[in-house]
């Protein structure tokens, strides 16, 4: 009887035809099943926590229970479920707060069930009012934000900055293209990884933004990808250099970014408009790409001056301020090491209290559970 050859030194038989491909597919299926199971566990845990919060509030309102009941409940639950970490007084207080602040309609409950508990605690801490809370909650779900990214967007006030940069898009682009282009703007842009100095050269700013391109792309927004820095375009034998050239993969358009370390001047738009037109003519493929737009980032602007300058510019451009975070705000944001650990952290949060789940969920949670990095 013939036996399959073995791989020298491995002690294993050689793989039959198609085995490697099947193994790769099987690994993907297992990981997908694990993630699906953990998400199911997370939804059950969130439903439980929200219901516990409602129970506490209803009994406090109906029977006059004081705050001391939270400490008593924490001790009782810890004795009954010694392996679970979700019954601390702090966590129970967040459950109680969630009953007061998280909307109780069905859609809001569905959003909550898609978020780890750590996200919900952060939203309860950092938002004012149900509208703001639910806006950030929906964004966290749709964009797949980690807790560190959610904290960053809350700290920098994304909701107030998104889509508000002054532009001439309504008169230079047809609808709905003008609306799409406007939606991808912010004002101001906050580059927390760029140190604030009294005088920074534009080339130094470009270098800082490209050295940590992932952080820069996060602030520029979803769908933005990096094409190049100091991109050269030659016309009539003269080289022109674009500070940053980006491409928006969802809108299929090039975005020309010019960086200034001074307050806005109308002449800046003339240069940017020229670059937008050049990219539109020399780089863009009109058959598949939406019209190119420009974004001027400067350190300050006067609204009336910007409005008049935009009205006299034929190319579709927007103007926004850029700024760095002050040192105290930057210190509140996660370090690079914390960001590296965030995936394990979120998986651990979703696996919280997994011992209450059916066996397949238990196995998935045990596989993925890791200690939390930020509590």
Greatest alpha-carbon pair distance for the chain in Å reads 89
Q: What is the DSSP string of 36-100?
A: HHHHHHHHHHHHHHHHHHHHHHHHHHHH---THHHHHHHHHHHHH-TT--TTSHHHHHHHHHHHH
Calculate mean pLDDT across residues 346-374.
40
| Segment 64-118, tens digit of pLDDT | 888 889 999 999 999 999 888 889 999 999 999 999 999 999 999 999 999 999 9
Choose between 222 and 53: higher pLDDT. Answer: 53
Residues 343 and 229 in one domain: no
Q: What is the pLDDT of residues 19-68, one digit of tens each?
A: 989 999 999 999 988 888 888 889 999 999 999 999 999 998 888 888 88
Look at residue 124 in the predicted model and tell me its pLDDT. 97
Let me know: does 126 contact 332? Beta carbons within 8 Å.
Answer: no
Q: Is residue 10 part of a domain?
A: no
Domain-embedded: residue 6:
no
Q: State whether 81 and 220 are in the same domain.
A: no
Residues 103 and 73 in one domain: yes
Give the predicted TM-score (pTM) of the model.
0.72
Q: How many Å apart are CA 224 and CA 15, to the nearest integer?
A: 42
User: Is pLDDT at 325 greater than 80 in this prediction?
Assistant: no
Split at pLDDT 50, 70, 90, the class of 307 is very high
pLDDT above 70 (res 340) = no
pLDDT of 46: 94
| 91 touches 116 (CB < 8 A) | no
CB atoms within 10 A of CB 362: 16
Domain containing 351 equals: 22-156+336-368
Alpha-helical segments (H) within 114-194: 117-126, 130-143, 147-155, 158-161, 169-172, 177-183
pLDDT digits (tens, 9 = 90+) for 232-274: 999 999 999 999 999 999 999 999 999 988 899 999 999 999 9
> What's the structural domain count of the chain?
2
In a domain, 14, yes or no: no
Instruction: Provide the CATH number for the domain around residue 292.
Output: 3.40.1350.10
């Amino acid at each position: 009887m013939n036996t399959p050859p073995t791989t020298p030194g491995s002690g294993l038989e050689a793989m039959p035809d198609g085995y490697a491909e099947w193994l790769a597919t099987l690994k993907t299926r297992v990981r997908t099943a694990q993630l699906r199971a953990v998400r199911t566990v997370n939804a059950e845990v969130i439903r439980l926590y929200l219901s516990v919060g409602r129970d506490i509030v209803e009994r406090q309102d109906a029977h006059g229970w004081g705050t001391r009941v939270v400490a008593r409940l924490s001790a009782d639950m810890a004795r009954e479920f010694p392996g679970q970490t979700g019954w601390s007084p702090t966590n129970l207080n967040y459950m109680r707060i969630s009953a007061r602040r998280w909307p109780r309609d069905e859609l809001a409950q569905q959003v909550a069930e898609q978020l780890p508990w750590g996200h919900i605690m952060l939203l309860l801490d950092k938002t004012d009012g149900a509208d703001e809370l639910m806006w950030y909650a929906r964004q966290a779900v749709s964009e797949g934000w980690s807790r560190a990214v959610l904290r960053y967007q809350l700290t920098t006030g994304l909701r107030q900055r998104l889509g508000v940069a002054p532009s001439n898009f309504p008169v230079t682009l047809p609808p709905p293209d003008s609306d799409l282009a406007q939606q991808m703007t912010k004002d101001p842009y906050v580059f927390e990884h760029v140190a604030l100095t009294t005088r920074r050269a534009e080339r130094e700013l470009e270098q800082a933004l490209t050295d940590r391109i992932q952080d820069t792309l996060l602030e520029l927004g979803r769908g933005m990808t990096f094409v190049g820095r100091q991109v050269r375009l030659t016309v009539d034998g003269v080289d022109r250099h674009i500070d940053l050239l980006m491409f928006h993969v969802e809108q299929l358009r090039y975005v020309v970014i010019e960086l200034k370390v001074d307050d806005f001047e109308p002449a800046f738009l003339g240069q940017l408009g020229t670059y937008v037109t050049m990219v539109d003519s020399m780089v863009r493929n009109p058959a598949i790409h939406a019209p190119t737009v420009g974004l001027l980032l400067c350190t300050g602007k006067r609204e009336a001056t910007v409005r008049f300058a935009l009205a006299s510019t034929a190319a579709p451009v927007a103007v926004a301020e850029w700024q760095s975070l002050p040192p105290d705000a930057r210190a509140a944001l996660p370090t690079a090491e914390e960001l590296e650990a965030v995936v394990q952290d979120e998986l651990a949060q979703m696996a919280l209290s997994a011992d209450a789940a059916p066996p397949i969920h238990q196995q998935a949670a045990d596989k993925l559970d890791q200690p939390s990095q930020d509590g």
